[in-house]
Amino acid sequence: MLPLEGITVVALEQAVAAPFATRQLADLGARVIKVERLGGGDFARGYDGAVKGMSSYFVWLNRGKESITLDIKAPDDRALLDAMLARADVFVQNLAPGAVQRLGLDGETLRAKHPQLITCSISGYGSAGPYQHKKAYDLLIQCEAGLLSVTGTPEAPAKAGISVADIAAGMYAYSGVLTALYERERTGAGTGFEVAMLDALGEWTSQPYFYAGYGGTPPSRTGARHASISPYGPYRAGDGAEVFVGLQNEREWAVLCADVLGRPELSQDPRFVRNSSRVQNDAELRVMIEDALSGLTAQQVTERLDEVGIANARMRTMLEFAEHPQFEARDRWREVDTPAGPVRSLLPPVTVAGREAAMGAIPAAGQHSDAIRAEFAARATDSTEDQT
């Protein structure tokens, strides 16, 4: 039995943040009913057609869910949604700012009718303040949270290559739902909470904030290098390939100098004797390190680093990532059914001995509409009659 079996989640969701949260609930055994709009469903279905004609975003975010298409402004469909909410444990939504209030689907209104319901609202900027009605997308939140000011090169900022603001919000929504379910077990009452993308990514950018706010100097944009630790980043070996190295302390710095670079005197050089001085002189240090590695191939550098316990990596392409030997050795890939045939997906990161995530099929838009309508029809009829 999976931990969330018996829990029903109704998700009025689209794009990335909310679907990412509810997909993880589905992986844990929750029944997730995804409410999509008529005439195309979640617009993330159309982001691309890379996965057998399906959107890579949608395939990533929506396994294990049931899909129903509704016009929630139409009385009959709204009555059906109300019937679903009456039997739900959790309601998650990330509609445009102000939409749920206009529809009477805000958490306060719903919990007045259903005191045991847990409501989660995901927005760009939160439900108060001058930005509350401002539309928000991942890149824009990366800008507002200051992430682009520390990501990229000195010449130009760069966005993160994944939907990091959406993912951050989705993770906090997911953990918030789990916390609320645990709280309900003790109190018997549901609760409502909200997650703002700006708050979520702001938490993740707190370290550079502390560095800049209290250190007086903002972190530099250093590409693939670390702005406040050195040596930390890519270094070119003699064969032209790069090895990424990550040091954490002065002991490792001394080991690197003596046992990998063959230059033990560098660890005592005043320019490099402590991390702060190495950061200040990073460009000069990089030349010295690469000069010391010029007689070795990248493979030899990696082997030598592994022998002395220095963290390192080689940059992989996404196709190389898909064939990573560590995934293969640990049997981390599974097949997930989709309307276009099976696709290979990674197991969720949390591993529990003797238990495996559900990883159910990815639904077509409205695939479960008939079955869900039949299941909730009687209650929906009663709700319509009560309203009249």
Q: Please name the residues in contact with 97: beta carbons below 8 A apart, sequence gap of 6 or more.
A: 123, 124, 125, 132, 133, 134, 135
CA distance 359 to 225: 36
The two tokens of residue 290 are 């690469």
3-state secondary structure of 215: helix
Residues of the chain with confidence (pLDDT) below 50: 388
Catalytic residue among 114, 133, 226, 324: 226
pLDDT value of residue 377: 87
Torsion of CA 245, 248, 249, 255, to 10 degrees: -30
Domain ranges of the chain: 8-204+329-387, 232-313
CA distance 205 to 148: 10
User: For residues 17-45, b (16+ Cβ closer than 10 Å) or e, as one string?
Assistant: bbbbbbbbbbbbbbbbbbbbbeeebbebb
Q: 8-204+329-387 sits in which CATH class?
A: alpha beta
Left (φ > 0), alpha (ψ -120 to 50) or beta: where does 214 sit? alpha
Angle at 230 between CA 229 and CA 231, to 5 degrees: 135
Active site residue 226: yes
Give Cα separations from 336 to 80, 249, 343 (angstroms): 30, 43, 5
Indicate the pairing of strand 242-246 with strand 232-236: antiparallel
R_g over Cα of the chain: 25
Burial classification of residue 4, based on how many CB atoms lie within 10 Å of its CB (0-12 exposed, 13-18 middle, 19 or more buried) = buried
Contact 64, 365 (CB under 8 A): no
The DSSP result for 276-294, as a single string, is HHHHHTHHHHHHHHHHHTT
Number of residues written out for the chain: 388
pTM for the model stands at 0.91
pLDDT value of residue 192: 96
Contact 21, 174 (CB under 8 A): yes
CA distance 115 to 378: 22
Which architecture characterizes domain 232-313 according to CATH?
2-Layer Sandwich (3.30)
